[in-house]
A and B are shown apart, each in its own frame.
Chain A
Amino acid sequence: MSNKSTDKTILQKLGLAIFVIALGVFTLSLGLDSYQLSEESLKVSKEYHRVEVLNQAREVGVLNRSFESNIEFISAFKNVLEKAQSSLNEKAENGIPEGIGEWDFKLGDWEVKDYILQTTKSSSVGLIAQNKRLFLLLTFGLGILGGLLYVLPKFNLIPGIKNNHVYHNAMTRGLKFGPRSFFLTMTIIGSLLFGFFYLNKNLFWPLVTAIVILLIIGLVLYAEKQKQNNPTKSASPTITGWLGVFTGVYLIGFYILLYWTPHYITSWILIVDPVSEVLSGNPASQWFLYGLLYTVVVLVMGLRMMAKYQHNKYQLVRTGSVMFFQTAFAFLIPEILIRLNQPYFDFKNIWPLDYDFFFDFNLNTLLNSGGLGIFMLVWGIALIIIGVPVITYFYGKRWYCSWVCGCGGLAETLGDPYRQLSDKSVRAWKFERWIIHGVLVFSVLMTALVLYTYFSGNYNIWIFNSDTVRTWYGFLIGSAFAGVVGTGFYPLMGNRTWCRFGCPLAGYLGLVQKFKSRFRITVNGGQCISCGNCSTYCEMGIDVRHYAQRGQDVVRASCVGCGICAAVCPRGVLRLENSSMDVGTRTQELRTIHISEDEIKLLV
């Protein structure tokens, strides 16, 4: 006998099988529907657009025709919309009906996107559209059931650290350096290329971004002399986990579909319609789908986290907290607000993570929503200028990053199996500091431009157009970095890739934590045996052992206070603590140095 995997009970195997089936049905469901455009299913809000689109659809014979796949349907419908677009443009030359502005009359690109999404969804006529509830059960229902069957038996194990076979498992053992670099490079190039089209073939911003990226690489490798510091151990030297790669690619694909081509996933949106109708009374949007999926994943994987760390009360409370904030604050309360005809608002989301907080549409909505809207505005601003510094001073950035935040919540639940994949090299740390502070600066500048426009009505400032800048920020940071890389890279570079390298709020919280906070991770005298568990399982890529073996308390801007280093340490060396007594001198002592140099004058 000898088996490099953990024991699984029959129930757990069954759970896994059920989960795989659910995932299979979920994935396949994208191809199961058929589509038919009818007068009722055409979702075009403006009457003059509607007439035109219907005409064009009749003309090319798309109206009432059946399509077996959404790809065909969408391409045919796009064609119709393009025809309608040029026809409307022509008509506009010859005069616009009374009372309608030119830009209103013409069919804009963003309207095209919206019409395609809404129409594809409502033109679904096949298996899924007719059996939403059944598919809800087969996907979400079975998925949750399978997940629970897999997770719950873990509560029966003898409590303790459960990291056996993490590096034997094809899901969690990570990537070789080569494939990892490949994924990174492809993602960067892909984003810039895609961004070029996203900005309507505007080369300026993708180019500026490329230059900044090259600049950072140059700074780290040459100015910070990291070229010679080959990070030999940052990625796996010999092994690549194929399941992890598969999962990463699946997640990346999911985010691309969700953000930029949601019309291909209307079947998924249909499936969650019944839930949305119960909660807000409206049919589901892609964002509802995402929110529901997110919450379900945080809850099920949160239970897994609790089972895994059942002996550790800090982990139990903290995981309970992220599960609560995701479910209540990020998911339910906003839906209920909608139901009450109030603005959609996530009370725990803070600028600059919540990068569109100061966008005109949000400010206008809040200002026009009476007392509650004003409260939301004041609340949001108070969190930024009072909440963040004050609470971080007392408890460190963990109060947000690993207790409240949604991104953190996902990372600590769904992402927990991948925490060991963060890069611990000094080189990665240097990259981290340039990139995260770069994003912080970008978010501040972008917001400043947007606010300038808001108050002055002026869009162009020097060579910048505030509208383009905010679109680019939303695309590059808000979607590509936070979403595609943020989650898609869990199995490739660890579960906090976004939080560590990208999140501007984490950057801000980190500065407070580093320079003015009571928080630190205390090292227990000389007990460290340099085993490396703490560093390995630090999701932020902090080389905790470097500090622990010197007996130096850990104060790092990036530490999210997840407490896992302290949990996995086999010698009880680390403790997350706060004290006001020594805020300025937290890291000065080196406790394993047992010969005091004061007593010894050394002759070299």
Chain B
Amino acid sequence: MHIAIIGNGISGITAARNIRKLSDHKITVISAESDYFFSRTALMYIYMGHMRLEDTQPYEDWFWKKNRIDLKNGYVEKVNTQDKELIFYDGESIAYDKLIIACGSKPNKFGWPGQDLDGVHGLYSLQDLEALERHSIGGINQAVIVGGGLIGLELAEMLHSRHIPVTFLVRETNYWNAVLPKEESDMVTRHIRENGIDLQLETELKEIWGKKGVEKAELIVTSSGEKIKCDYVGLTAGVSPNIDFLRFGDIELGKGVLVNEFLETNVPDVYAIGDCAQLQNPRSGRRPIEAVWYTGRMMGETVAYNVCGKKVEYDPGIWFNSAKFFEIEYQVYGTVLTNPPEHHKSIYWEHSDGRKSIRLIYDKNTSSIIGFNLMGVRYRHEVCEKWIKEGTHVEEVLQTLGIANFDPEFYKEYEQEVIDIYNAQTGNNLELKKRRGLRSALEFLKKTIA
């Protein structure tokens, strides 16, 4: 059997590796972006000089041949599901028995005038990075970034590392406050400014003007009518599935490729995973499209079983994510909402340096723990997950909170301070019983509930 995979990102590659573990099928992974799998999440580090492209490739080049995973560099222009073949941009075609679509995302463009000028780019692909490098070598006197998500912030940090002045336009009243609770959003907003980024809140892009004759961006106009001269515009107002090449086929599409819980599309033997997949029935509390690394990896693993003939439902487990805002690390486990319902109660501790915080969310009615939001402090994934999954009582969590702490040795532990806040809120008198340490964490994790 020949399994073709469109896309060599984390989802496509995880699928290929797991299919190889489970079977002897022929596997071909296709990508128009790069010869080898690299970590998209590390694009920023290449530009900043922390790593070379090679360092972001998780496997050595010989790995693919050794594992009999064929790699093909080419752009799939059309999928012919009738004859089960892929037709490439250059007219070539290959036949498949089963197809996995893992074609990822593309940066959003909202029809701004001038959005296709030279010097206006998203930050998603290797080619986007090359374009940025090209412009940087030419010299960028002023850059404007449009859209206040994680990628926009990474782009700001990148440009900042090369001493390029950055104006960062964000539609919201505070940075990423659609995801981060107010205090955390405030903290990051402060930190962005502390790093010398010109952050303009409640500001949107209206249009981009080009230099006459050369079609290169030279000025943007904001929603408030302000004009900013610039020679690079980064469009980072979110991403959406990169599925234009599937538009006129018979695979059913919504915003992404529609799939059921087995990651199957409406066409037999065609599956979709990763950023481009849209779940018809996402689990409760989860979104139909989750464009993050971890879900791509989990879908890749799941689809491998389904392709190999063992039906497994896609189960992403408890939500988690992480990021880094300049110097501030961020981790989240479970449900942390910006506009929480009334019964979500929050315990929030913040360090006096304004760069660390710990937030616990629990259900006021049941007292079960629901979520953790960490800034500048590291917590153990499995411990938090287990607490949330088991609906552990918030007071039990608090008293043993130390076992979740994952900061390096010698770091100060703040769990007692978190408890003090809870005590102050509730008039309780709890004390921390377990401090940081692998031993107690393991004891907790290995204990199964009776």
Contact = CB atoms under 8 A, between A and B. Distances in A.
B161 to A, nearest CB: 5
B310 A1 contact: no
Contact of A529 (B41, B317, B331): B41
B327 A2 contact: no
Contact of B139 (A1, A425, A529, A549): A1
B331 A527 contact: yes
Contacts, number: 201
B32 interface: no
Interface string A317-328: 100000000000
Interface in B23-44: 23-24, 39, 41-42
Which of B309, B409, B439 is most buried by chain A, counting CB atoms within 10 A of its CB? B409
B107 interface: no
B326 A527 contact: no
B385 A525 contact: yes
A165 B305 contact: no
Main secondary structure, interface of A, reads: loop
B314 to A, nearest CB: 10
A594 B50 contact: no
Contacts of A167: 49-52
A522 B389 CA distance: 22
Interface stretch (B57-65, B201-209, B248-256, B425-433): B57-65
Contacts of A604: 22-24, 308-309
Contacts of B165: 1
B140 to A, nearest CB: 5
B285 interface: no
Contacts of A600: 305, 310, 312
Contacts of B317: 594
A533 B409 contact: no
Interface stretch (B114-122, B168-176, B291-299, B393-401): B291-299
Given A529-B293, A563-B408, A603-B310, A2 B136 contact: yes
Interface in B407-440: 407-412, 437-439
A308 to B, nearest CB: 13
Contacts of A577: 437-438
Nearest to A228: B62
B331 A1 contact: no
Given A161-B327, A566-B408, A533 B381 contact: no
B136 A524 contact: no
A156 interface: no
A354 B141 CA distance: 57
Contacts of A536: 50-51, 55
Interface in A401-433: 425-426
A142 B184 CA distance: 47
B51 A532 contact: yes
B163 A7 contact: yes
B309 A578 contact: no
Interface in B303-337: 305, 308-310, 312, 315, 317, 320, 322-324, 326-327, 329, 331
A604 to B, nearest CB: 5
Contacts of A527: 294, 320, 322, 331, 381
A230 B61 CA distance: 8
A262 B315 CA distance: 69
Contacts of B302: 595
A314 B410 contact: yes
Interface in B150-192: 161-165
B49 to A, nearest CB: 4
Contacts of A546: 58
B378 interface: yes
B378 A524 contact: yes
A123 B174 CA distance: 75
A522 B312 CA distance: 29
B97 interface: no
A233 interface: yes
A27 interface: no
A239 to B, nearest CB: 8
A253 interface: no
A166 B49 contact: yes
Given A525-B380, A532-B51, A533-B50, 4 more contacts: A314-B408, A526-B381, A529-B41, A603-B309
30 contacts: A2-B137, A2-B163, A2-B164, A160-B327, A167-B51, A230-B62, A232-B61, A232-B62, A233-B52, A237-B52, A237-B54, A314-B410, A316-B410, A524-B378, A524-B381, A525-B380, A533-B45, A536-B51, A566-B408, A567-B408, A570-B329, A571-B329, A571-B331, A572-B322, A575-B406, A579-B439, A592-B297, A594-B317, A595-B312, A604-B22
